[in-house]
Structure 1
Amino acid sequence: MNFDVRECRTTLAQQLPEMTHTLERLVNIDSGSYCVEGVNRVVDIMEAGLRTLGFTIDRRPMSACADQLVATRTLSGRGRLLILGHADTVWPEGTVAEWPFSIDGDRATGPGVGDMKGGLVMALSSLRYLFAHGFDDLASITFFLVPDEELGSVHSRPAIEAAAQEADFVLVLEPGRPGGGIVTARGALGAFQLCAHGRSAHCAVNYAKGASAIRELAVKVEPLEALSDPEHGAVVNVGMFHGGAARQVVPPEARMDIDLRARTQAQADAMIAEIRRIGAERRNEGVALDLRGGLTRPAFTDAHNGPLRDIALDLAAQLDIPLFEVPPTGGGSDGNFSAALGIPTLDALGPVCENICARDESISLASLAERGALFCGLILQLNNTRKI
């Protein structure tokens, strides 16, 4: 098909009222990861939109979360594209009533407007543009909408990895970074829960018969957090600590939740080994330790992503919009899974977002058209990366 990225932006800009209407519908649905009904309503809207674009729908009910949506359109060209998006947000039930969708000039705000309902709307409009202009260059496009990304995609990871292994390219709809950043690399993430099981006793009457679970865990906080090296992207954070039954009772139970961030896979592996060593060291008789968890997202390296990045930079230059590669970030996405498998992956392609996951999260409405045109151009030039 003949394609002019500037003409594409102009056309998409003319569709901003329609895009904004769909965005408002999506944002005004409480769809935190645990709001199963709300996440499924987002899936409903996306399913309807993809069905009208000729996608074959595979909707997969999940027992532990909302539904997965895998939509595929078979074409006549070569190369298989996987688009990764998610229907859930970080915001709990009731947030929309306090903070509904609103617009102030070029800024739209509301729960999940950037992460990532804006990206979902942008992708639908971009695909509609391509198919309306006869796009048929790829062998297939698969759109995978995940219901539990904000939980680490703990239930969806196997299906994401299976889909990625069938793809030649992966484009991820996480929001664009402030100023126009895209992501070609992310660090590794891990999550652990360390529990101590002791013996209760009245602290005045039978103190010696007790075994304090809190005392066992408390001495582990410092050595765990001492594993951190923020200058080199390594962080171990004990983010939650719970324990005890009553003030006058030797605490029989205690639990800490540990977050791990690492810049590289080797760094993550070394830190995990130390977490397991510290977690297994028992200092008090009568207390048992139980460490659960591990790596939740492998490191997302930029080893295979240079050609996709270069196309995006060239398209941005044609559009005269800012675009740059951000340094490896500690935040994860489903792109970690595909990149770790060696599939060329480009992330943060959604509209440009400010203050992600904060109460003033917002996107630039103009960037829906700008990033949408860039997204179209990327899809058209995927085969120029010569992976296939």
Structure 2
Amino acid sequence: MKIASTEEMLNMLEKLVNIDSGSYHKDGVDRVGQQLIDAYQTIGFHADIHEQHTYGNHIVLMHHEATEPDILVVAHMDTVFLEGTAAERPFHIVGERAYGPGVIDMKASHVTTFSALQALLNANKEAAKNVVVLLTSDEEIGAPSARKLIEAQGAGKKAVLVMEPARKDGSLVTSRRGGGRYTLKVTGKAAHSGIEPEKGRSAIEELAHKTIKLHQLSNHEEGISVNVGISKGGTSINTVADYAEGKVDIRITTQDQAAPLAKAIENICAQPDVPDTSIELEGEITRPPMERNEQTIALYEIINDVASSLNIDLTETSTGGGSDASFTSALGIPTIDGMGPIGGNQHNDEEYLEIDSLVERTKLLALTIERLSS
């Protein structure tokens, strides 16, 4: 099987990395999408564009001769970086690593996905025609507009391969924690803290009570965590705060933890601890966990066998971060994550790609698709 050269892959990657595509930067995400549409059209894939108003457009790609593909490959185009980041620190190479915003999470994965299908078209066209590629635009913020499309595209598929990067040791992801986000909006009553503090009702105090109670819901042995990561309120140091707000991140390990935890959060916020304050609770558990189940294990074993044929020592791992893999896994569809190349330091300015993993992971993806299609 003839795979594109590392140089060819890096040229494609540089163009993608140097386009800002933060989740809320629709124009940038759509520019990345157009670059990928143009590339796939050269190998006979057509694009079905799902227009979005707030976020970037989602894209479904299939070979023009495809009939009923039963493999879904999922990759997101958005990053966590603000507009202007690519200009500040564009794509560059230092030694055996490539750097730049989104280089590993997950623009390098777009390169290996395209290169794998390009290679398959020459080596096994029927396998290439057995794939649907779904490019989403809002994974980094929980897939608010992509979830239904991911679930619809996953329905009935034999396997779903999610192109998040492999871990630093090259391992694939067979389980992920699920989670969600809540916002607590607390209203109190303002008063001068020196002249008549007794007339005030502190929203900050109420938020503090709720923060302590919410944190007590965490059970790290059971894989449940509740964290008020942002709190803010008040207008001046000598005023009893009449408003405060808390942002809450929650994580769960199994789906059966979701409903009890949601109910516990609602119960805590139903009654104020500080008299005459009120609380508005917004949010929900938005991403189910990706649980390591029989379907996942069976798919992993197939991929591991392919890896062995390439002399790749593959391992599996669990991670606390979320991804689009959770949506298809929760529907009982065999799903494996971390099929992208190897790198690290996602979401910060030291994010990197191990360059020599580009060809290796392209081969692994191509041969996995071929095996699943046989």
TM-score range, shorter chain: over 0.9
Indicate yes or no: 2:304 matched with 1:313: yes
**Equivalent residue letter for 1:271:** L
Which letter maps to 2:307? A
Q: Deviations over 1:122-176 (max 9, x none)?
A: 0001001111224214774221111111001112112211211243321101001
Of residues 266, 269, 272, the one that matches 1:282 is 272
Q: Is the 8 A contact 2:63 2:128 kept in 1?
A: no
Contact residue 184 and residue 347 of structure 1 kept, 8 A: yes
Could you tell me which amino acid in structure 2 is paired with residue 142 of structure 1?
V
Tell me the secondary structure at the aligned position of residue 376 of structure 1.
Answer: helix
**Secondary structure class of the residue paired with 1:260:** strand
Q: Contact 1:77/1:138 (CA < 8 Å) preserved in 2?
A: no
Q: Root-mean-square deviation (CA), in Å?
A: 1.8
Maintained 8 Å contact 1:261/1:268:
no
Q: AA paired with 2:312?
A: I
Query: Is 1:180 equivalent to 2:170 in the alignment?
Result: yes
The more displaced of 234-243 and 261-270 is 261-270
- Read off the aligned partner of 1:117 and give its amino acid letter: K
Matched AA of 2:14: E
| CA distance in structure 2 between the partners assigned to 1:337 and 1:27 by the alignment | 27
Q: Could you tell me which residue of structure 2 aligns to residue 337 of structure 1?
A: 327
Q: Does 1:49 align with 2:39?
A: yes
Deviations 1:181-226 (A, max 9, x none): 1011111111111111222233344434332211111111122112
1:234 maps to which residue? 224
Alignment of 1:166-205 (within 5 A): 166-205=156-195
Aligned to 2:7: 17
Aligned counterpart for 2:356 among listed residues 359, 363, 366: 366
TM-score by structure 2 length? 0.94
Secondary structure at the residue paired with 2:185? strand
Match of 2:203 in 1: 213
Tell me the amino acid that sits aligned with residue 343 of structure 1. I
Deviation at 1:73, TM superposition (A): 2.6
Deviates more, 1:196-205 or 1:55-64: 196-205
Aligned to 2:30: 40
TM (norm. structure 1) is 0.91
* Alignment match of 2:19 (pick from 29, 32, 36): 29
Alpha-carbon distance in structure 1 between the residues aligned to 2:179 and 2:368: 28
C-alpha distance in 2, partners of 1:193/1:129? 47
Give me the whole-angstrom Cα distance separating, in 2, the residues matched to 1:318 and 1:256.
51
Of 297-306 and 202-211, the range deviating more from structure 2:
202-211
Question: Is residue 121–residue 128 contact of structure 2 (8 Å, CA) maintained in 1?
Answer: no
Query: CA, structure 1 residues 137+110, in 2 after alignment: closer, same or farther (shift >3 Å)?
Result: closer
Structure 2 residue 90 is the aligned partner of structure 1 residue 100: yes
- Worse overlay, 190-199 or 115-124: 190-199
Overall identity of the aligned pairs, in %? 38
Once residues 281 and 182 of structure 1 are traced to their aligned partners in structure 2, the CA distance between those partners, rounded to angstroms, is: 44
Q: Determine the C-alpha separation between the residues in 2 that align with 1:358 and 1:207.
A: 44
Q: Which residue of 2 aligns with 1:5?
A: none
SS of the aligned residue for 1:350 comes to coil
Q: Is the 8 A contact 2:209 2:273 kept in 1?
A: no
* CA offsets 1:245-284 (integer angstroms, 9 cap, x no match): 2222221111100111121112333322222211222122
Q: Distance in 1 between matches of 2:91 and 2:190?
A: 50
Aligned to 1:250: 240
Opposite residue 190 of structure 1, the aligned amino acid is: G
1:114 and 1:356 in contact (8 A); partners too = yes
Q: Give the structure 1 partner of residue 316 of structure 2.
A: 325
Q: Which residue of 2 aligns with 1:4?
A: none
Structure 1 position 123 matched with structure 2 position 113:
yes
Contact 1:100 1:110 in 2 (8 A): yes
Q: In the alignment, is the contact (CA less than 8 A) between 2:202 and 2:240 conserved in 1?
A: yes
Give, as a single letter, the amino acid of the residue that structure 2 aligns with 1:329.
T
1:351 maps to which residue? 341
Q: What one-letter code is carried by the residue in structure 2 that aligns with 1:314?
A: D
Moved more, 117-126 or 59-68: 59-68
Aligned residues: 373
What does the per-residue CA deviation read over 1:298-325, in whole Å, with 9 as the maximum and x for residues that have no partner? 0111221122211211121111123101
SS at structure 2 position matched to 1:185: strand
Aligned counterpart, 1:154: 144
Uncovered stretches (5+) of structure 2, i.e. residues with no partner: none
Q: Which moved more, 1:313-322 or 1:69-78?
A: 69-78
Code of the residue aligned with 2:339 in structure 1: it is: L
Alpha-carbon deviations, 1:95-140, whole Å to 9, x = none? 2223211112321111111100000000001001111224214774
Answer whether contact 2:155 2:333 (CA < 8 A) is retained.
yes
Measure, in 1, the Cα distance between the counterparts of 2:259 and 2:178: 9
Partner of residue 142, structure 1: 132
1:70-104 per-residue CA deviation (whole Å, 9 max, x = no partner) reads 22236568651111111111111222223211112
In the aligned structure 1, how far is the partner of 2:129 from the partner of 2:57? 26
